[in-house]
Each structure stands twice: as C-alpha cells, then as structure tokens.
Amino acid sequence: MAHYLITGASSGIGAALAGRLAGAGHHVTGIARRQQRLTELSQQHKTLQGYMADVGDPAALMTAINDAKTNSGPVDVAILNAGIYQPQDGTKIDPAVYEHHMRINYLGVVNALAGLVPDMITNGRGHIAIVSSVAGWRGLPKSAAYGPTKAALISLAESLYFDLVPHGVKLQIICPGFVESEATAVNDFEMPDLISCDTAAVEIINGMETNDFSINFPKSFTRKMGFLRFLPDRLFFRLVGKQTGIF
Ligand SMILES: NC(=O)c1ccc[n+]([C@@H]2O[C@H](COP(=O)([O-])OP(=O)(O)OC[C@H]3O[C@@H](n4cnc5c(N)ncnc54)[C@H](OP(=O)(O)O)[C@@H]3O)[C@@H](O)[C@H]2O)c1
C-alpha cells in the first residue's frame, strides 16, 4: 500500500480522493486548514491522518510534510489539489484578490513540491499529480483571478516534466471541468456537464493509473473546451461571449 499526500483534503474533490484512497487501504496524509474536517475524515478512515497547514505558508507546509514523512514514511504519491476560486468582475481589479489566488493555487503547489521533490529524486521514484483546471486552457468569463493560476500550473507541470521524469518521478496534470463543491457553489450560472466530487475522484484515480500526462474530465465537457483551446482568437471570443450571453 502506498503513502498518498493530498493537499486540500478537507472538502470537495480532495476529501473524496482521500476517502476513496484510504478506503482502499492506502496511507493517506490529508493537508488543509480546517482541522475539524480533517479530524472527521480520520475518524472515518484508520489509515488517514490529517495535518493542519496553509499551503500558502511555506514553513507551515514544510512542517506538515515532514511530520507526515516521520509518521507514515516517504511520500509515494502526491496530489496537489488545494485551491480557491472567487469569481471576478474584471472591471474592478483588486490586486490583493489576484495575489491571494496566486499564493494559494500556484505557490501552494510550489511550496509542496519543495517538500516532496528532493526525496523523490534521491529515491529515484515518486508520482506527483497537480490539480489545474480547464479554466487554465483559455481565459474565461469571471476567471481573471483564478484562470491565470491554473494556466501557470499547466506550464509549471510541463516544464517540471523535463526535470523530473528522467529521475523516475511521474508527473501529471489534472484538468477537471465543473465539479459540484464548495468552490463552485458560488457560481450563479448553470454549469454544463457538472459532475460530483466522487465521480471526479474516480476519474482522477483511474487517470493516475495511466501514463497520460493530462487527465481531463468529464470528456463530454473537456472535448468542447479542447476545441475552444485551438480556435482562432476572434472566433473564440465570439463563441464564448455568445454562449455566456456577454455579447
Ligand atoms: N470544482 C470544480 O469545478 C473544479 C474544477 C476544476 C478544478 N478544480 C480545482 O480542484 C481543487 C479542489 O477544489 P474543490 O472544487 O474540491 O473545492 P473545495 O471543496 O473548496 O476544496 C478546496 C480545498 O482546498 C483547501 N484549501 C483552500 N485554501 C487552502 C489553503 N490556503 N491551505 C490549505 N488548503 C487550502 C480547502 O481546505 P481548507 O479550507 O480546510 O483549508 C479544501 O480542502 C482546486 O484546486 C480547484 O481549483 C475544481
């Protein structure tokens, strides 16, 4: 049985993943800020341990990762999933909101990598999956603070692929469409092809068993988004603007 480390394990996709993997008998380290949620999860699963840390705080996250290694051994698989999403009106820019998204969604992953990569390189093995989003593929309405963090993660993972894969470390990027969670509960529009966190967790676990670099789901949505990705700009803006009723 492997030692999985999951950031953002207290709710949504992360909690569903943590529950499924612990249910299958793996050792699971769950990291998040809400201690109570982590405690509840660890009460449900004997092989799950929660560690409270803010992924945006490099020292606190490093301490949590080191504690997890001390208690459960080297991390075999890391799913870097913690993230926030606040829809934005781009006519009113508050730099603090943009900075906060970057600190949690992007630097939160970098902070975790700092605690995980050195051991994996030394051991010549490991598996890291980073949770991005289809919102990182092209700029979408309301996503001005969130989307760039997810685009940055895709670029980060592509770049790290060249550094880590030669050392035996498997690297994957996960791009979900709409998943029903606390994060998307703020959306005031109908989310196409919405799936549950449990379905997302199954897609991720299955995708991580493949050798694909990108894990994209649900296909009914990511195929459409994949098409938009390669559309010429003029057509892309017209189509998305029309679809969302913006113009
Ligand atoms: N839902 C979707 O439609 C969708 C689509 C594409 C990608 N995603 C991505 O999937 C990931 C999980 O999102 P979700 O939908 O499951 O939302 P969620 O239910 O809000 O879960 C977010 C998780 O991240 C944790 N988190 C947030 N800020 C943190 C911080 N500063 N330090 C540590 N942990 C933090 C939260 O825990 P605490 O609050 O306890 O810290 C929570 O466990 C995110 O990266 C999100 O961008 C979601």
Is ligand 1 within 6 A of the CB of residue 81? yes
10 touches ligand 1 (CB under 6 Å): yes
Buried b (16+ CB within 10 A) or exposed e, 71-109: ebeebbbbbbbbbbbeebeeeeeeeebbebbbbbbbbbb
CB of 54 closer than 6 angstroms to any ligand 1 atom: yes
- Using alpha carbons, list the distances in angstroms from residue 18 to 10, 30, 244: 9, 7, 34
Protein residue whose Cα sits closest to atom 42 of ligand 1: 8
CATH of domain 3-243: 3.40.50.720
Ligand 1: residue of 6, 7, 13 to mutate (most ligand atoms within 8 A of CB) is 13
Rounded distance, CA 108 to CA 232, Å?
33
Question: What percentage of the chain carries pLDDT values higher than 90?
Answer: 98
Separation CA 26–CA 120 (nearest Å): 18
Model pLDDT, residue 164: 98
Count of CB atoms situated within 10 Å of the CB of 159: 11
- Domain layout of the chain by residue ranges: 3-243
How many CB atoms lie under 10 A from the CB of residue 189? 10
Rounded to the nearest 10 degrees, the angle between the axes of helix 147-164 and helix 107-123 is 10
Q: What is the pLDDT along the chain (247 residues), one digit of tens a residue?
A: 999 999 999 999 999 999 999 999 999 999 999 999 999 999 999 999 999 999 999 999 999 999 999 999 999 999 999 999 999 999 999 999 999 999 999 999 999 999 999 999 999 999 999 999 999 999 999 999 999 999 999 999 999 999 999 999 999 999 999 999 999 999 988 899 999 999 999 999 999 999 999 999 999 999 999 999 999 999 999 999 999 999 8
213 Cβ partners below 8 Å, 6+ apart? Answer: 157, 161, 171, 172, 173
Distances (CA, A) of 187 to 8, 101, 142, 143: 20, 17, 10, 11
Distance 15 CA to ligand 1 centre (A): 10
pLDDT in tens, 96-122: 999 999 999 999 999 999 999 999 999
- Which pLDDT belongs to residue 156? 99
Maximum Cα interatomic distance, the chain, rounded to a whole number of Å: 55
Q: Ligand 1 within 6 A of 178 CB?
A: yes
> Measured from the CB, is residue 29 less than 6 Å from ligand 1?
no
pLDDT in tens, 161-206: 999 999 999 999 999 999 999 999 999 888 999 999 999 999 999 9
Phi-psi region of 126 (alpha: psi -120 to 50; beta: other; left: phi over 0): left
